[in-house]
Each structure stands twice: as structure tokens, then as C-alpha cells.
Structure 1
Amino acid sequence: MDLATMFEFAVKRYPDAIAIVQENVRFTYARFDEEINKLAAGLQTLGIEKGDRVLLVTKNRWEMVALYWAIQKIGAVFTPINFRLMSHEIEYCLRDSEAKAIVYEPASKDEVLKATKDVSVKKIGLLNVEGAEVSYKELLRLGEEKNLIRPQIDMDDICLILYTSGTTGKPKGVPRSHKNEYGAAVAHILQNQYVTGESTLGVMPLYHTMGMRSLLSMAFLNGKLVMTPDYSPKKLLEEIEREKITCAYLVPTIYHDLVNHPDFTKHDLSSLTKLGYAGAAMTTSLTKEIFEKLNPKVFVNHYGCTEVYTFTTCNYLDKKPGCAGKPGFHQDIRVVKVDPNKEVGPDDVVAPNVPGEIIANLSSIEAFRGYWKRPDANKKAIRQGWYFTGDLGYFDEDGDLYVVGRVDDMIISGGENIHPLEVEDVLSKHPKVYEVAVAGLPDDHWGQIVTAFIVKADPTLTAQELDQYCRESGKLANFKRPKKYIFVKEIPKSPVGKILRRKLKNGEYDGILDFALEG
């Protein structure tokens, strides 16, 4: 059961259902399938064959979704990357993936043309972008003149390569098979309690696993995917109301932007009843705010990664806010001792309520089999059939998982281990705090000191006020209280909303030191 066949089954079930929307563009499943078949045949006329990689450097456009399905129909490999990447990063991904074609648009034109200067690759352009050998419209025309030839596709064939962000070196390609993606989509549907005919926002990037889940789950259920190439909270609020969006799968940052937008109460969001989040931790204060303002029937914390997809899910956040919950539909999870020498095995488990490294069973249908051309990365992350996530967490007495941060983000101050999330969770509840991130900065005496980076919701907020708040919270031991407060204009984040603590540690922010405790 390859992905394109699954899509064609959906087309036959409900041909007149709306498949995709972007502004004034609307396609039924039947009409979208016609477009996709032409694109697929057009790609074949360019010499794109089964197994060939096609690199895409575009925003979340409906054309990108059409190309996704066209690439699946010919057995090629959809390889999307961030359209904001610089030319040397694009060139690296081009050469690493050995892509036969690259798709780009005006937003990525300059960097793509520089990246492809010395690389032999077919250039396909969207929106009449300059420099392309073939435009999207020309690709359709080529497809009209040629019959699509569907190759035999096996479930273990690679259909997708996602590149990880590469925060500690070159990005790593994560090959995903039809079986992996089918399994992840089924798990996503079950774990988020989706039904036939749902509708969702296509706002999470399609170069990210969250974007892929929304795309596939909607297609399998004859749902509607509403694409939003240019993100703005106001635009999302309008789309939820206009398109009667029923479910959303977003990072906490976007939920924060939505429920705190000044126009939030002006929009009818009653259709939106199923919410899921992933990609980063959500504070208990934001969790509570979402329950109060959106009143979801389903609200799921989905903890996973590009390589495996599901680790755990929690759909009882009203009882345990911030909890990552139980292992997913296809998964088994353990927490083992932290070992910088990477000699710990999957049987070196820790006791309940003791933090350790979270590991996931690679026998899951959702799990990859190893990085693209990176045996060094495989050796580091894969041991005895388990994926070592690099995340810190613990199981409580109920067997529920809590994620407390990255192993690399753990602050060691005066020999004590301090996890940024527990400090952030306290500070985020202060009414004058808009956003907070905590990191460990070097210190001659302590080794590292807990430093809080604060975006103010109220200009009158002072660091002394926050320090007193932490003292009186009853939730932070004195050694965990921030010794520095730095007020910043914004918290640096990745394109999918993850806090970039390395930038905070490196001084890559616009802010001022307001307060430093002595001793």
C-alpha cells in the first residue's frame, strides 16, 4: 500500500470533497488528482524516475502539495528544505541528496540560483520565477502530452527525505519509507481522534514532520488542507473562521500567538474542537489558557521526532498539563542513564521520577532505519535497536512521561542539575511575562548560572519583581532561581518554534542585562 494508491482510494471515495484551499484556489479531490497526474507525467518527461530525489525550496503552497503527490505517483523522493536557507546550505542538501531536480519560487530564487551555479540539476519554477528551465505551467503542459507510467512501488521504498536542522553541524537527511509515512499517518489519525472530513491548517512547514502529518492525515480522511504560505496569527484566525477548521496540529508558539492576539475574540472559532501540539514544550499557563479560551474536546501533547515520529501522547492535559503521557500506538519508550560516552544500553533504565535519556524502540512501523549517508550519526543515535533521542525525561509513578529538556540544555550550576523547563514553567505564570527562555551561561565560580531571558508583557516589569516571585512560588529551590535576568525583544526560535538556546548562550539576541544576583 504505497501513499499514492492511498490518495487515489480517497479520490474514489469522495471525489467532490474539497481537498485543498489557498485563498481563492479550491480543488476537489477529483480535480486535484487530474492536476497531480499531469504533473507526474510532466516530471517523467524531464527524466525524473523512481528513486530520484526532487529538492523543494518553497513556502507552503498548494503547488507544493500537488508536487508531493505527483512525486509519490512516480516513485520519486520528495525532499523539501527550508526556503529561508542560504545558498551554501541549499547546495549542501543538493549535493548530499544527489537531487535530479530542484523546485523553487521567488522567495528562494536568489539563493537557489547561487546554489545551483555549479551543480547539474533540473530547475523547476513556481509563480513564473526567473531562471527556471521549466515552469509549473509548462510542467503541466508536458504532462498533457504524455501518459503517466506508474512504476511498481514497494512499502519499503523511500518516499521522503527530511533534513534535520543541523544545530550541531551539517544537516542530516532522514529517509522515510512509504511504510514509515503510512504508519505515522495512521498513528496521527488515531492519536488525535480524527474522523472523515476533518479540515486543518497547512501552516506547519512541509519540510518538517508536523507538516507531513497534516498533509497525509487529511488526504487519507478526505479532509481539507488550507494552505497558508505567509504566516500571521491574524490570517490563521481568519482562516479558522472562514473555512470552519475542525482540527489543528501546531507548535506552542503559534497557539500562544493565536490566543493572545488582540482580535482573538472577534472571530468565531467554534468549529475548532481538536487540538494537538508538538515540536516544543508547552508551559502549564499556556495549556490552561488554551482550555479556557478554545475549550477543545480533544487536546493532545504529541511528543516525537523526525526519525521516529511518535514517542508518546497525552490527551489528559487538563489533569496533567505538560505531561507527554504514554507510549504511542506503535511505540515502546524507556528512560535510561545519561552517559556522555554513549556506552549506556537500552537495559540501563532508571527508576521512576529519576531523569534520564529517553529512548524509543526502532521496531515501530513509524521509525526510520538510519540517516542518509551518515554512518557516524547512526552510530551515535542507534544502539541495539533503540533510538537515543538526546532528550531528558522521567516516568512518574503512573508511568507517564515528562520531558524536561535536551541533554545538552541541562544546566549544571555548582554541581547541581537544573532543567530550563522547570524554571520557565514558574516564570511563565507571572502576569507581566509575555515569553521566557532559560539557559545556562558560563560562570567562573558556579560553572554555569541560571539565566532567564524575558519578553515583557508589561513595561513596568522588573527583575527584582521576578526574583521575588520565584522566591514566593514554592516551586523553585533557591539554587534553581535565575541569577541573571535579561530582557529581550524576542526569543530566538527555529522556523517551527523551538527555542534556540544556543543563540542565547552565544549572545545572539537583542536585549539588556537588568539584574544579576550576587553569590
Structure 2
Amino acid sequence: MNIAVLLRRAAADHADDVAVRLGEEEVTYAELAVRAGRFAAFLRASGVAPGERVGFLLPNVVEYVVGLLGTWQAGAVGVPLNCLFPDAPLRHAVTDAGCRLLVVPPDDVERVERVLEGATPELLTTGPEGTFARALATNPPTDEVVPRLDHDDALLMYTSGSTGVPKGVRQTHRNVAAEADGAIEFYGITGADHVLNCMPMFHVGGLQLASLPLLLRGGQITLMPRWDVEKWLELAQRLRPTVGGLISTMMIDVGNRTARQPVGLDSFRFCMFGGSRTPTAAIERLEHGTGIPGTEIYGQTEQNGLVVTYHPGEKRRPDSMGRPLAQIVATRLVPVDGRETERSGAGPEDTADLEPGDPGVGELWVHGDAVTPGYWRLEAPEKWAVDDDGRRWFRTGDLMSRDTDGYLYYVDRIDDMIVSGGENIFPQMVEEHLADHPDLAEVAVIGTAHDRWVEQVTAVVVPNRPGVTVEALDQWCQVHPDLRGMHRPRRIEIVDALPRTGSGKLNRPELRRIFP
């Protein structure tokens, strides 16, 4: 079923309620349905056929929500593009998707035309005088929803591409609806909920977690076009939202800002955070400074954003991300430590899974309604495995352990593991301990070349006050019980900021380029 049917049904049930707010502008559900119907009519009149792609290179603005809903209603595929992409990844994503139209802010038109080198799709500009508004004004709204089946694509979301060109992740109507339903059920979202959405909608956190579940239940969305910790705190106090979402970097900003001047934020039922592994010290700073016990989320674009989390109010287990959402995914932990498989000659898909409580480390594999059917124009067979029952499992590349109650503990990325002197060292475990240092705001650990050990543990850190020295940090590490031996950073670099991808994740490849 076309997800637009479900969204229009919710709009009819909550016609007079506010759906989306940006600054002083408030759009009711009835008006949202009319605007989306106008955009759908424009797309059909422009010859956009079912299954063709419409791109959005935007911050969080009202046109984003209107445009995506109208795109689905017309049977087309939405392509949310990372507005922080450099030129080459942006060019690749737009041309690879084959976008018929591209919605952009007016200030970005010159850049887009230059980057795409003449292969520019039709551009629609946002704002009251833009061509997007003109398209709505000149097309009467349609109530028709073009039929789409569960396996038809609803979205192409391009990964950040920090390890190469971005990959277009296909997300079907069934994927998107299942993910939204899973979040609604797990978090108990109702029409009374109000989300303060500062996570970008080109990211699964901003769209599939912080927007669509609210829209399907008749809730309210307040958009933030750009991250500003002071603005977020002001909106949170004035509007009293019940739901929040923060990329880990944003959560660290809030925790650091309120560490010495706490701000009580008691309206939140829960506040999700994720995007990258977050040290326990940063989570505790958030709760100390705001009263918010953060709700950790884990997922990937390939899983539509949410696979592991906690129920609102559930007590967080130290260092654990929570438990899988069994409603929408099945999970496996496949060992990577070379243990024997069930039968001689078996491939990794036939390996005996780690049982709950097994002390080993395994790669998380997922299968289910929320998992992508594959990449756009790219096979990537290494990302998939087929078991004896013919089920396709997506290999996340994330290493985890699991306790006896089924809680998962993130260890590291398979390709981030450091091998120093023949010992396996997981960078994020070192980061967890190093983040306990009171003078550090952020930390990142990578492997760099060493003449004897082949690789050494290198810490790149951002101080939270002036005067922090490498020598003092090294002395602290030497006496820390969990940072001795091969786990102690042999090289420490102090920087003003860590490199991030457009979705806010730590850009380890860029860090390795800066510090070879």
C-alpha cells in the first residue's frame, strides 16, 4: 500500500490540529493534505511517472514535508539528499538517482547548476516567492493517490559516503510503514505527542523516527532547520515538547552547555539519541544538566533507522544500546572470533550464532520488514547472506556482544578494529574510558602506523577548557586501570573539533587521512 494513503487518513482524522511548525508558521493537517495534493497534481501534470525520482536538497523546512507527501501521493520516489554533501558526492547522488526534479533553497541554485555541470534536473526553489510555492498555487489539489505496492520504492536515501561514493539505499513503502509502526508501538506515540525535530530529514532519524510516526498518529512536529544548542534549549522550554531526538554530537553539545548551568526539561517523555556510539559520561552529563534520561537508538539507513532501543522510562544498562525491536526485525549475532561452525566447510551464514550471555563478539545480522531489499543500481553481495531457509540477512558490519537478557552492547565496526602487536583492540572501548577524563569534551580513537607494533592506538581529543596538554593526558592514561598495556593511547593529538559526516557521525576515514 502507498504510505500516502495512511498519511492522508491521519490528516483527515486530525484536520484542525497543528501538524508542522517552523518559527511562527503553523500548518494544520487539513492544510498539509491540501498542499501535498497540489504538489502531487503538479508532478502528474509535469509528466512525472510512478516510480520516477524527486530529489530534496533542503534543511528541515515545511516544503520538505509537503514535498515528500505529494511525491508519494503521485506515486513517485522521494530522494532526501544530504545538504552537507561536498560537490562530488552530491553530483553522484543526483545523477545516480536520475532525479526528474530537485527542490532546493534559492541560495543553492548556482552551486547545484555548477556541480551538476549542465545535467541539472528541473529545479524548484523554496520560500514564499519560489517556484515550489508557484507550483502549489497554480495546481488545484488532487485527492487521488497513485497505487503503489509494498515492494515498490518509496525512498532512496544516500549514505554519507565517507568510505567512497554514496550508496542509494532503497526503502520500500512496506519498509517505511513497518518502521513507523514499530516506533509507534514501541514508544507509545499518540496524537498528544509533540516532537522537537532538529535531526535532518535527509537522515533516517529525522524522517523515519522523528517525523513519520508523529504524522501517522496526528502528533505535532516543530522543525529546526539548523542545529543551535541555545535555540534548542529555548524551544524546549517554551514549547514543552514530549519527544526529542538528538544526533550524538547534539546530545554532547546539550550536556556540555548545561553541565554548569542546568536547565530543567521535564516535558519530555523520552529523548532519542544516536548516530554514533556515545560514551556513558556524555549520557550522564545530559541527564545531570537537563533531567532527561536519554533513550539510546541504534540503526542504519539500510534498516530504516531503528533496530535496537529502550522503552521510554526503561532503566538503561551501562554501555548497552537496548534490545532489538522484535516486531519488525529478526537479529543474529554471528561470531567473528574464528570458532568452529556447525558443520565442516560451512560458510558464515551457517555459523552457530552467539547465544545470549555468550562472552564472545559477533557481527549483527538483521532480517525483516524494515530491512532494505538492496541498493539502487548496486549489487553489493558482500552485504548479504542467505541461510538454509532461503532468508536474506543484511550484514551490518557492526560488532556486538549480548547479555543473558538479550541486551546488546556495541563493540565496534569490523573495519575499525586496531591490531597492535597481534592484539585486537576495539577503538570505541578505549574511547569509552578516555571520555571519563574531566577535561575532555569529545574523543576519537584510531589506529595509526607504528614501526614495531604495526599499528598503535592514537587518541584525537577535543578539550573542554584551555591549557590541556598531551603530557597531562598521557600521565592520566598511564594510571587508568582500563587504559594500560596495548590499550593505552601511544599517540595523543589535541584538536578544536572532530571531523563529521553530513549526518553528524564521526568521520574516521577523514581522521585517518589527517593523522596517518
Structure 2 CA distance for partners of 1:326 and 1:261, relative to 1, 3 Å = same
Q: Which has the higher contact order (CA 8 A, sep 6+)?
A: 2
Q: Which residue of 2 aligns with 1:80?
A: 80
Preserved CA contact (<8 Å) 1:335 1:358: yes
1:251 to 237, 247, 250: 247
How far 1:496 sits from its partner (Å)? 2.4
Q: Distance in 1 between matches of 2:275 and 2:87?
A: 26
How far 1:246 sits from its partner (Å)? 1.0
Q: Which residue of 2 aligns with 1:372?
A: 376
Q: Which residue of 2 aligns with 1:389?
A: 396
Q: Which consecutive residues of structure 2, in runs of 5 or more, have no partner in the other structure? A: 339-345, 387-391
How far 1:467 sits from its partner (Å)? 2.9
User: Could you tell me which amino acid in structure 2 is paired with residue 333 of structure 1?
Assistant: T
How far 1:450 sits from its partner (Å)? 0.4
Q: Which residue of 2 aligns with 1:415?
A: 422
TM-score (norm 2): 0.90
Q: Which residue of 1 aligns with 2:502?
A: 495
Is the partner of 1:485 in helix, strand or coil?
strand
How far 1:508 sits from its partner (Å)? 6.5
How far 1:295 sits from its partner (Å)? 2.9
Q: Distance in 2 between matches of 1:353 and 1:216?
A: 38
Is the partner of 2:307 in helix, strand or coil?
strand
1:202 to 188, 197, 200: 197
Q: Which residue of 1 aligns with 2:324?
A: 327
Q: Distance in 2 between matches of 1:311 and 1:319?
A: 16
Q: Which consecutive residues of structure 1, in runs of 5 or more, have no partner in the other structure? A: 510-519
Is the partner of 2:348 in helix, strand or coil?
coil
Preserved CA contact (<8 Å) 2:89 2:161: no
How far 1:277 sits from its partner (Å)? 1.6
How far 1:290 sits from its partner (Å)? 2.5
Is the partner of 1:26 in helix, strand or coil?
strand
Q: Distance in 2 between matches of 1:264 and 1:431?
A: 13
How far 1:227 sits from its partner (Å)? 1.2
Shifted more, 253-262 versus 434-443: the winner is 253-262
Query: What per-residue deviation string (whole Å, max 9, x for no partner) do you get for residues 126-172 of structure 1?
Result: 1378xxxx80122112313x755432222222111101112222211
Q: Distance in 2 between matches of 1:479 and 1:102?
A: 50
TM-score (norm 1): 0.90
Q: Distance in 1 between matches of 2:45 and 2:252?
A: 46
Preserved CA contact (<8 Å) 1:317 1:323: no
Q: Distance in 2 between matches of 1:324 and 1:497?
A: 18
RMSD over aligned Cα atoms: 2.4
User: Could you tell me which amino acid in structure 1 is paired with residue 333 of structure 2?
Assistant: V
Is 2:362 the counterpart of 1:356?
yes
Preserved CA contact (<8 Å) 2:191 2:220: no
Q: Distance in 1 between matches of 2:133 and 2:497?
A: 41
Q: Distance in 1 between matches of 2:314 and 2:438?
A: 21
1:156 to 147, 151, 154: 151
User: Could you tell me which amino acid in structure 1 is paired with residue 149 of structure 2?
Assistant: D
Is 2:134 the counterpart of 1:138?
yes
User: How do 1:251-270 residues align onto structure 2 when only pairs under 5 Å count?
Assistant: 251-261=247-257, 265=261, 269-270=265-266
Preserved CA contact (<8 Å) 1:203 1:231: yes
Preserved CA contact (<8 Å) 1:287 1:317: no
Percent identical among aligned pairs is 28
Structure 2 CA distance for partners of 1:194 and 1:292, relative to 1, 3 Å = farther
User: Could you tell me which amino acid in structure 2 is paired with residue 452 of structure 1?
Assistant: A
Q: Which residue of 2 aligns with 1:232?
A: 228
Q: Distance in 2 between matches of 1:454 and 1:166?
A: 24
Q: Distance in 2 between matches of 1:332 and 1:40?
A: 36
Q: Which residue of 2 aligns with 1:336?
A: 334
Query: What per-residue deviation string (whole Å, max 9, x for no partner) do you get for residues 416-466 of structure 1?
Result: 111111111111111111111111111121111101111111223233332
